[in-house]
Amino acid sequence: MKTALTLLTTLLMATLAPSASAADAPSSKTETAVIGGGCFWCVEAQYLLVKGVKNVVSGYAGGKTENPTYEDVCTGDTGHAEVVKVEFDPAVVSYREIIDLFWDAHDPTTVTKEDMYKHGKFLPKGTAYQGNDYGPQYRSAIYYTTEEQHKIAEASKVEWQKKWKDPIATEIAPLKKFYPAEDYHQNFKARNPNQGYVRAVVDPKTEKFKHTLEEKGKIKPEAK
């Protein structure tokens, strides 16, 4: 009788106890953020350093052309921007923190500056650019997937505007569709460490962002 009672109690406790998968749920949950801050090679490399980020996929969003190619987007006629889809664990890094870091990752005022000559080419006022890259495909953008993300992005923008002299020109709009870029664009910095643009542009921006993450305590341990 005692043995039967013990067995019954054990079975009951096992039934009521939370499963291992349930206990692990907070750390296995993934949310996404879609942002564009110039060339996606730079933004991808930067966000891969952020603690809590599980994956970063370079791609295109914000335009009208379906299934665009890199060559299509480079014309500036598709309406798409180069963006990254950041997959992150909200138990480690929040969407607000992802967006707050976004303002540090690039210059979000670059379509509000005066007309200028840059690299021997005339840039009409209102032309998006990031460093050596110019055109609408390099515009600053946040594409939200929920109304909550929308509110968070707008609130973050208001706070960060206080830190910029020029008006923030970042497009904040609902995500219609994200198109992954070609395979050769993914994890580009790591796969092409000696490529000219990587060494001249991506590496310096990534290193600067790395210091920002270290100061905020948001860098992955393996990236230190």
Give residue 4's pLDDT: 44
Q: Which CATH topology does 28-223 take?
A: Peptide Methionine Sulfoxide Reductase; Chain A (3.30.1060)
User: Which phi and psi (to 5°) does residue 115 adopt?
Assistant: -55, 150
Q: Which ranges of the chain have pLDDT less than 70?
A: 1-27, 114-121
**One-letter amino acid identity for 12?**
L
**SS3 call for 133:** strand
Give residue 131's pLDDT: 80
CA dist., res. 54 & res. 96, Å (int): 16
Give pTM, 2 decimals.
0.85
CA dist., res. 110 & res. 129, Å (int): 6
Judged by phi (left if over 0) then psi (alpha if -120 to 50, else beta), residue 147 lies in alpha
Give residue 18's pLDDT: 41
Closest CA to 161 of 214, 84, 100, 71: 100
Catalytic amino acids? 39
Summarize the chain as % helix, strand, coil (round to 5): 45, 20, 35
User: Which phi and psi (to 5°) does residue 177 adopt?
Assistant: -160, 140
